[in-house]
Amino acid sequence: GQQVMQIPQYQHVQEGEDFTTYCNSSTTLSNIQWYKQRPGGHPVFLIQLVKSGEVKKQKRLTFQFGEAKKNSSLHITATQTTDVGTYFCAGTRGAGSYQLTFGKGTKLSVIP
Amino acid sequence: DTAVSQTPKYLVTQMGNDKSIKCEQNLGHDTMYWYKQDSKKFLKIMFSYNNKELIINETVPNRFSPKSPDKAHLNLHINSLELGDSAVYFCASSQWAGESNEQFFGPGTRLTVL
């Protein structure tokens, strides 16, 4: 079945440092979504990428979708304590399958 | 106004009991989901309903039975609870069952089986 791998599992950064999490799929994806889950909270949708090579920005967050549509990354510039949480990527295989397969997430801790 | 709500928020029960979790969405969405998040934070799809019809039914013990009385509600009934069922269960909804749909998650139900 489709697998979505995400690394690293944990990342501790000093406030102001950059952070990147990577997502890789065993199969070509139709689209990829990113979610953020704050401690004790629920996943909240951040963004969706659909096109090969697509890059989208949300303030300090930059999302990329690989040319082959099998990998993606989320980069946060100058982390803040409000960025703390677990970031999940989730992919859809397409071809009639609309099931979202989640990566295991990257837990970000920001040291003030 | 809460978009996706779940009750109860916490559920502590003994092994062998039967329990239900309820979910309601007021977004007018056609599709609803149940996810299980284990202690390692892994999010796994369990079921999905589109307009009251089951469309995703992952490998889940048949002790778990979803029920969708209408497209705004998706409940989860669990029979003969086991220790391994302890987890956070999230309900979610999306506008429809297509590929390009963000999912809106409820606040979760933390189930503890003793």
Chain CA centroid to CA A94, Å = 19
Per residue in A36-76, pLDDT tens? 999 999 999 999 999 999 999 999 999 999 999 999 999 99
Query: From CA A35, how far away is CA A77, in angstroms rounded?
Result: 17
B100 contacts A31? CB cut-off 8 A: yes
Most distant CA pair in chain A, distance: 45
| Burial (CB count <10 Å: 0-12, 13-18, 19+), residue A13 | middle
Task: Report the number of secondary-structure helices (H) and strands (E) in chain B.
Answer: 0, 11
Distance from CA of A17 to the nearest CA of B (A): 25
Contact with chain A for residue B40, Cβ under 8 A: yes
Confidence of residue A96 (pLDDT cuts 50, 70, 90): low
Q: Using alpha carbons, select from B76, B61, B65, B79 the residue that is nearest to residue B16.
A: B79
Task: Judge: B99–A42 Cβ closer than 8 Å, yes or no.
Answer: no
Q: What is the pLDDT of residue B59?
A: 80
The pLDDT tens digits of the residues spanning A61-71 come to 999 999 999 99
Phi and psi of B77, rounded to 5°? -110, 135
